[in-house]
Structure 1
């Protein structure tokens, strides 16, 4: 049997190779590699896709978060509420502007923030809520926006894994005060390198973000703030513009892959399959299930993962240490057991290979390998859900 990787970018590239090669050659021949019309055309197209008036493209999804926070003038002394179960970039951006991340536990069924626990985390220092649409599944934004309005808080959506996801018919990234996207290669809309975008309806936020990404400058050699160098290059922009035209098709294919996985795994009592959003559309950046017997710091889960790897199927673990227990945040005082749902997820999750071109035959191989690994490790029926 062939090795099945967690994601295969080569198959997708083959379908658009001729178009990409020609477009990149045109950019290289133009001699205009930073900013310029190609970048602005993509920024406009992506803003239109999300449904916001403004789109500021930048160097990475992490920079998009940073620019959003800076544009909102969030800094030292402020608190931002977010999830402990996500990649560190979410909290890292909060720390990078001098603010303090405040972690709220997740809903184990969705891996997203437990919106019922948000209000208890609000203090007189809270300035914003940063929900993460994890693995491509949208957060239930209704309670988030209601709470933010009532307490006069900003909402910055971390949409890094959720380009194209929807909540109640609205694209993520247009619901809050701003949305932050990543174009890392493995994302639903991924480039051939790093890239990101900040989307917003607010003209003032957009203007500030553009100034900050250009070394704090609106006019060349005139600097009004300490900014950063965070520009999307023309090669990435032209590739992303091509891929954007295919994104809806690829997201539909991801949904089909997820549906097949769930059908194939329906009778496997040792796992809990992820569910589609009940109030919107997931775009399945990952298909992340839970091993119901994975305890003791995830040792059983890790053994299942290793057994699958040895059999030629590469499953991934996102994220084995929740952010509130990371060494870098030890000073915040969180202890094991403080956020039990996030800690349980960290011990139980396993992400199966997921990409639009994954066919049924290879999915059968994945599922058969998972079943064999479960039997090898000796996991039994579910203790809890």
Structure 2
């Protein structure tokens, strides 16, 4: 196979390929990637369908990989964040800061604990809530702050933690997209009270269906979460708390253990494809019609995992339609709705002009380890063709 990693195509070049079909994420291909029948057989032979050695082993391996003290697997990342807020037991009706650019699950985790969320515009360069935006917020009446570590990078956590500590505000990290993401050597989810991981199939580390985990250095939160995920029961099955049923199953633990063996490859492949995107689209960025994603965490040398390749584009809706006609799948993150867009839940996007401007232009290009370089070249040439560059 010819490698084009360092190739930048002149806009007058004709396309090298006939029309291709590139879904945003190829779930059918994903479902054929591992020897799933063998993993099912292994799980059935163990006799453990929920709990058991596969769960314990996976939690141990996540601790080893992230360097964070505890990993408690749960049914999904939303449950993980809700359990963290249950643990904090903050005053009902008090205010929690959330980034405007995040999934509804981030805010709903706080709302589920009887709290009120306050969206804050994110940084234009990074798409994250950074210390620059947070420093303009009155933290005196805030009960907690949520930072979403987004698209494979982390925010500038040193400055954020200084701001929050000086105001005695606890941090909850939505690090659902954060596996493999670091800031100055600390893994996403390792800065505040606790963070979460999502193992949804399209994540860097995915399973078959929903799955999640709490990651934390807080011993008390870990003890609480181990109990609450299993109906609040202790080791003798006597209830310690009111709990819930939120447990990762053993089959998905075995799948995740298998995929975790390849996580360095998955991330390196994403970085290689992102470099190809960057090289072939840099001229459009120079022209001001396209903004490419950040390559590193904020104020850090730690490189992105490229969980997503999110661009800001002029005429984004027209471009997405053009790419669809070319057979290329794209999506707007969160369905194109920030927290501030959710009028039915009491928010007004008109109060967030910067977020409105960003969401009018932002969308995701295909990015995962199953893509081939030829497909990225086809995508970048199609984008170049659209802009007539």
Question: TM-score, normalising length from structure 1?
Answer: 0.89
Distance 1:236 1:74, change over 3 A: farther
Tell me the CA shift for residue 156 of structure 1.
1.5
1:91-127 residue CA offsets vs partner (Å, 9 max, x unmatched): 1111111111111110111000032222443444422
SS at match of 2:234: strand
Cα distance in structure 2, aligned partners of 1:313 and 1:325: 27
Which of the numbers 78, 90, 96 marks the counterpart of 1:80? 96
Cα distance in structure 2, aligned partners of 1:96 and 1:125: 20
> Conserved in 1, the CA contact under 8 Å of 2:24 and 2:365?
yes
Matched, 1:341 2:357: no
1:192-241 residue CA offsets vs partner (Å, 9 max, x unmatched): 11100111111111111122111222256533432211000000111001
Distance 1:224 1:169, change over 3 A: closer
| 1:96 paired residue number | 112
Tell me the CA shift for residue 10 of structure 1.
5.1
SS at match of 2:282: coil
> Conserved in 1, the CA contact under 8 Å of 2:123 and 2:133?
no
Which of the numbers 169, 174, 178 marks the counterpart of 1:162? 178
| 1:363 paired residue number | 376
Cα distance in structure 2, aligned partners of 1:368 and 1:3: 14
| 1:316 paired residue number | 331
| 1:242 paired residue number | 258
> Conserved in 2, the CA contact under 8 Å of 1:337 and 1:343?
yes
| 1:266 paired residue number | 282
Cα distance in structure 1, aligned partners of 2:258 and 2:277: 29
Matched, 1:141 2:157: yes
Tell me the CA shift for residue 302 of structure 1.
1.8
Cα distance in structure 1, aligned partners of 2:138 and 2:94: 11
Question: TM-score, normalising length from structure 2?
Answer: 0.88
> Conserved in 1, the CA contact under 8 Å of 2:97 and 2:117?
yes
> Conserved in 2, the CA contact under 8 Å of 1:180 and 1:197?
yes
| 1:287 paired residue number | 309
Alignment RMSD, CA only? 1.9
| 1:229 paired residue number | 245
SS at match of 2:337: coil
**Unaligned runs of at least 5 residues, structure 1:** 294-299, 381-385
**Unaligned runs of at least 5 residues, structure 2:** 1-18
Cα distance in structure 1, aligned partners of 2:371 and 2:196: 28
Tell me the CA shift for residue 14 of structure 1.
5.2
Cα distance in structure 1, aligned partners of 2:323 and 2:210: 30
SS at match of 1:157: strand
> Conserved in 2, the CA contact under 8 Å of 1:288 and 1:350?
yes
Cα distance in structure 2, aligned partners of 1:312 and 1:104: 36
Moved more, 166-175 or 195-204: 166-175
